[in-house]
Structure 1
Amino acid sequence: MHILDTGLGVERLTRYLVITVITRPRTTAQKQAFYRRVVDRLHDELGMRKEDVMVSMVQNTDEDWSFFGGDAQFLPVLQAPW
């Protein structure tokens, strides 16, 4: 995988970390606090450069999950109308 600058002016090393989080909807403030905490801890505990960590979130809800059998297990069971 190659992570492009995308015009943000950041220079990355050849080693970097990409984190994708699947989550329920969160506020902007919650997301920003999470990004900061992850990057700060990776920097403080592992010595990673903050410029070499990319985090993205993918939001979904209960209807977006089927664990088996073609059913959405997190949704209420729909009863037939008859």
Structure 2
Amino acid sequence: MPFVRIDTLGVDPGRLDALGRAVQEALVETLGVPPDDRFQVLTGHDGTHGTLRYDDFLGIHRDEGIVFVAITMRSGRTPDQKRALYRRIAELAQAYAGTEPRNVLVTLTENEPVDWSFGNGEAQFAPAGT
């Protein structure tokens, strides 16, 4: 049940869709997320009404192809699983959207079952009394 936010420069809907597919497939392949467990917000920034800021932190030169991927999910994955996820997202973003791996920045935030409500005002994975 990861919740994914993808922000990129440019508002091409085809590129946004390709990036969303890349992240979803990487989650399925590396973490075993069910294929239909997709919750994504895809945002293209046009440089006028919204933009992204970045520099060459850690000596990695980024350019206007930058993509920020923020994933929130339940805790429990190993460091090796997370590394595999980052690597696969970068590979698929390049294959599907032509995004250079150096331009893919991924953040991962973990939380607990009670931190999720999928509707109806309920914590489906942490019912009352647990």
- Interval containing the TM-score (normalised by the shorter chain): 0.7 to 0.9
Q: CA deviation at 1:65?
A: 2.2
Distance 2:67 2:90 in 1: 10
Q: CA deviation at 1:14?
A: 2.0
How many residue pairs match? The answer is: 78
Matched residue, 1:48: 99
Matched residue, 1:13: 63
Q: TM-score, normalised by structure 2?
A: 0.51
Once superposed, which parts of structure 1, at least 4 consecutive aligned residues long, lie more than 6 Å away? none
Unaligned runs of 5+ in 2: 1-51
Matched residue, 1:61: 112
Rg comparison, structure with higher value: 1
Distance 1:46 1:71 in 2: 37
Q: TM-score, normalised by structure 1?
A: 0.76
Query: Alpha carbons of 1:72 and 1:10: their partners in 2 closer, same or farther (altered >3 Å)?
Result: same
What letter matches 1:51 in structure 2?
R
Q: What percent identity do the matched residue pairs reach?
A: 34
